[in-house]
Amino acid sequence: MALQGKFTWKGIEIPEAYIVIQNAFCSCFYQTKAELKSEATYNEDGTIKDPAVYEESIEKRLDGKYTASIYKDKASKDADPYSLVDEIKGIYTPKHTSSAKNDVAQAYAALKVTDACKDLADA
């Protein structure tokens, strides 16, 4: 998977840029959320009569990050994979369903819709 085409990076136009996802990874976090169900009530003297009631829930959160290498063109990448111009780092929201694609494919899809890469073709 790669993207190819005219690409402007830091003000420099690269006519046949070749961009490849080098790594993609996903982190899974569990977050506890507390939702207020009822407000506290107070006695006339300001002391708490009934404390506030909260309902806790645990939410799963997935965060994805990727790094893509920018090459002058495909021939440069094939001749020397260390000859990259620069790297693009980005984030995406991974899906971990039974029908979801792997993390590299999901990162590639996220890269394709960025403003910098939206006009590039699949290579």
Provide the residue type at 7 as one letter.
F
pLDDT, average across residues 48-72: 95
What average pLDDT does the segment 7-27 reach? 95
Average pLDDT over residues 63-89: 96
In a domain, 75, yes or no: yes
* Residue 52 is assigned to a structural domain of this protein: no
Given a cut of 90, whether residue 12 has pLDDT beyond it is: yes
Which residue stretches of 24-102 are H helix?
Answer: 74-79
Nearest to 110 by CA among 76, 63, 60: 63
- The SS3 assignment for 44 reads coil
DSSP letter for 120, please: P
Q: Which residues pair with 121 in a beta bridge?
A: 4
pLDDT of residue 54: 96
pTM of the model: 0.75
Residue written as tokens 């073709």? 121
Report how far residue 66's alpha carbon sits from residue 89's, in angstroms, rounded to the nearest whole number: 6
Q: What's the rounded Cα separation, in Å, for the pair 24 and 89?
A: 10
In a domain? residue 41: no
Percent of the chain with pLDDT over 90: 94
Structural domain count, the chain: 1
Arithmetic mean of pLDDT over the chain: 95
CB 32 within 8 A of CB 114: no
Residue span of the structural domain in which 92 resides: 3-28+61-122
